[in-house]
Amino acid sequence: MPIMPDAYILGIESSCDETGAAVVRAGSEILSNVVASQIATHQPYGGVVPELASREHLRAIVPVVRQALAEAGQTYASVDAIAVTQGPGLAGALLVGISFAKALAFALDKPLIAVNHLEGHIHAVLLEQRLGGEGELNFPVLALVVSGGHTHLYLAEERENLWTYRNIGHTRDDAAGEAFDKVAKLLGLGYPGGPIIDRLAAHGDAQAVKFQASQIKHRDRRDHRQDTRQGEEMQPPAQAVGPDFDFSYSGIKTAVLRYVETHDLKPAIAARRQALAGISSPTVEELLKVCDRQTLNLIASFQRAMVNDLVAKTLAAAREYEVRTLFVGGGVASNRELRSTFEREAAMQGLPVYFPPRALSTDNAAMIAAAAYPKFLRREFVAMDFSADAGMALR
Ligand code: KG4
Ligand code: ZN
C-alpha cells in the first residue's frame, strides 16, 4: 500500500482529563501538539471527577483545536482527515471530542477516523521510533500499555497497514498508575501521584522496605469473565489456557497503608497534606522539605517493587511469545526508573525496547493522529452515526 507523505491528520483526544488536539504529517511528523490539562480542576478531589471533566472539555475543545491548527500552519480546510478517540474512557468526556470531530468532518466534508485510545498509546512509541530514524520494525511486537486506567499487554502484528492486537495480560484490579496515584494520596503528596513519586524515589533507599511477592499477586489462571472494573471486554475463551501474564496492584497499596499504620506515620502525613495544600505544583525541593527519611525510603521501595513487577512480567511474556520488539507506552511509561530498568533488562534478553518521548507518554492527541494514519491509508473511515465506546476493547 502506498504511503502518503503529505497526509495531514488533525487528531482530537478527550477520553479523560486532558483536552488534546494535534496535527501530524504522515503519521510521524508532529506539526503541533496542544494539551489543555485539567489537573488543577481535579486536584482538590485527589482524582478525576467525570462531570467536571466533561465541562472542562467543552470549555477547552474549540480553542485547543484552533491553536493546534494555527501552530501547524494549517486550516480547517487544509487538513486531510479528522481523527478522534472513540474509547475507552469516560463516556461524557469522549462525547465532547467525538461531537466536535463529527461536526468538523460534516461541515468540511472530510473523512473521519475513530481511534482506540490504547492504540494511540502504542503508536506514540512509533512516533519516537520513526523520529529516531530507526530501520524496519520487527514483528511480533509486545506492547505494554501502562497508565492510570490500564496495565495491559498486547501482542501486535501489522500487515499492509492493518494493525491487529491480542490481549495476553491485564490488571486484575488497580492499574499501575492508579496505584502510584493512590499511594501518593495516602502519603499526603497530592495528585497525580506518579510524577511526584518518580521525583522523590531517587532520594530514598529502595531496599529499605521489603514488599512480599504475595503483595503483588494475581490469580494463576484467567477466567474469561467480563472485567467490569476496567470496563473492557476480555478476549473470548481460548482453546487452551496459556501462561498468565496478569497484573495486580491493589495488594501493594494495602501494604503501604499497613506500613503507615504500624509505623505511626499518620500525624506526619496530616502535617504534609496541610503544608502542601496551598501549593498547586510543588517543586521537588518543596516536597523534600516535608518528607522524612522513612517516608522517602517507603516511596523508593514502593516504586522499585512496582517497576520490578512490571518489567519481570512483561519480559516473561516476551520470552513466552518469542516477540522481536518491545513497546512501553502510557502515562507510567514516563517513569524514569521504569525506563532504565526496562532498557537494562531487555538488553540482557537481546530485545529492542522503545518508549514514546516522555511528553508523549501521557494523554495527547499526536498519538491519536499517528494511530489514525494506517487507517487513513486503508481508507478505514467511520460513518456519522458512530458513537463513544467507554469500554472499547483493542483487537
Ligand atoms: O496515559 P495517562 O496520561 O492517562 C490515562 O490514560 O490513564 O496516564 C496517567 C497516569 C497517572 O496515573 C499518573 O500518575 C501516571 O500516569 N504517571 C506516572 C508518571 N507520569 C504519569 N507514573 C509514574 N511515573 C511517572 N513519571
Ligand atoms: Zn491514556
- Condensed to tens digits (0 to 9), the pLDDT of residues 123-148 reads 999 886 565 555 688 999 999 999 99
Q: Is 174 in the pocket of ligand 1 (CB under 6 A)?
A: no
Q: What is the mean pLDDT of residues 153-171?
A: 96
Say whether pLDDT at 178 is over 90.
Answer: yes
Ligand nearest to the CA of residue 47, numbered in listed order? 1
Q: What is the mean pLDDT of residues 154-167?
A: 96
- Choose one of 147, 196, 309 to mutate for the ligand 1 pocket test, by most ligand atoms within 8 angstroms of C-beta: 147
pLDDT at position 40 is 87
Q: Is 192 in the pocket of ligand 1 (CB under 6 A)?
A: yes
CA gap 148, 192 in Å, rounded: 9
CB 302 within 8 A of CB 256: yes
Per-residue pLDDT of 346-391, as tens digits, reads 999 999 999 999 999 999 999 999 999 999 999 999 999 999 999 9
List phi, psi (to 5°) of 11: -100, 145
Collapsed DSSP state (helix, strand, coil) of residue 18: strand
Say whether pLDDT at 237 is over 50.
Answer: no
CB 181 within 8 A of CB 191: yes
Task: Say yes or no: do domains 8-134+359-377 and 170-216+246-351 share a fold.
Answer: yes
CB atoms within 10 A of CB 292: 11
CA gap 395, 382 in Å, rounded: 17
Q: Is 335 in the pocket of ligand 1 (CB under 6 A)?
A: yes
- Set of cell numbers at residue 379: 481508507
pLDDT at position 139 is 96
Task: Give 193 Cα–ligand 1 centroid separation in angstroms.
Answer: 8
Per-residue pLDDT of 308-349, as tens digits, reads 999 999 999 999 999 999 999 999 999 999 999 999 999 999
Task: Give 89 Cα–ligand 2 centroid separation in angstroms.
Answer: 8
Say whether pLDDT at 236 is over 50.
Answer: no
Task: Give 205 Cα–ligand 2 centroid separation in angstroms.
Answer: 30
The neighbouring-strand residues paired with 153 are 144, 169
The residues spanned by each domain of the chain are 8-134+359-377, 170-216+246-351
Q: Is 198 in the pocket of ligand 1 (CB under 6 A)?
A: yes
Q: Is 362 in the pocket of ligand 1 (CB under 6 A)?
A: yes
Collapsed DSSP state (helix, strand, coil) of residue 20: strand
CATH class of 170-216+246-351: alpha beta
CA gap 289, 296 in Å, rounded: 11
Q: Is 330 in the pocket of ligand 1 (CB under 6 A)?
A: yes
Q: How does residue 7 score in pLDDT terms, banded at 50, 70 and 90?
A: very high
Say whether pLDDT at 44 is over 60.
Answer: yes
Task: Give 379 Cα–ligand 2 centroid separation in angstroms.
Answer: 25
Q: How does residue 234 score in pLDDT terms, banded at 50, 70 and 90?
A: very low
CB 163 within 8 A of CB 147: no
Per-residue pLDDT of 297-315, as tens digits, reads 999 999 999 999 999 999 9
Among 206, 198, 169, 202, residue whose Cα is nearest residue 181: 198
Task: Give 332 Cα–ligand 1 centroid separation in angstroms.
Answer: 4
List phi, psi (to 5°) of 328: -130, 115
Q: How does residue 101 score in pLDDT terms, banded at 50, 70 and 90?
A: very high
Say whether pLDDT at 212 is over 90.
Answer: no
Task: Tell me the percentage of the chain whose pLDDT exceeds 90.
Answer: 82
Residue type, 313: K
Task: Give 177 Cα–ligand 1 centroid separation in angstroms.
Answer: 5
- Choose one of 38, 362, 363, 364 to mutate for the ligand 1 pocket test, by most ligand atoms within 8 angstroms of C-beta: 362
- Choose one of 85, 150, 180 to mutate for the ligand 1 pocket test, by most ligand atoms within 8 angstroms of C-beta: 180
Domain 8-134+359-377 bears CATH identifier 3.30.420.40: yes
Q: How far apart are the first and last CA of the chain?
A: 21
Whole-number average pLDDT of the chain: 91
pLDDT at position 242 is 55
Q: Show the DSSP H helices in the chain as ranges.
A: 39-42, 50-72, 91-108, 117-131, 176-186, 193-201, 250-262, 266-276, 284-289, 293-320, 336-348, 366-377
Q: What is the mean pLDDT of residues 287-306?
A: 97
- Greatest alpha-carbon span in the chain: 64
Q: How does residue 214 score in pLDDT terms, banded at 50, 70 and 90?
A: low
pLDDT at position 78 is 97
pLDDT at position 231 is 36
CA gap 156, 139 in Å, rounded: 7
Q: What is the mean pLDDT of residues 215-223?
A: 54
CB 138 within 8 A of CB 370: no
Q: Is 16 in the pocket of ligand 1 (CB under 6 A)?
A: yes
Q: Is 147 in the pocket of ligand 1 (CB under 6 A)?
A: yes
Q: How does residue 3 score in pLDDT terms, banded at 50, 70 and 90?
A: confident
Say whether pLDDT at 219 is over 60.
Answer: no
CB 134 within 8 A of CB 191: no
DSSP secondary structure letter of residue 212 = P
Q: Is 334 in the pocket of ligand 1 (CB under 6 A)?
A: yes
Q: Return the higher-pLDDT residue of 243 and 24.
A: 24
Say whether pLDDT at 217 is over 90.
Answer: no
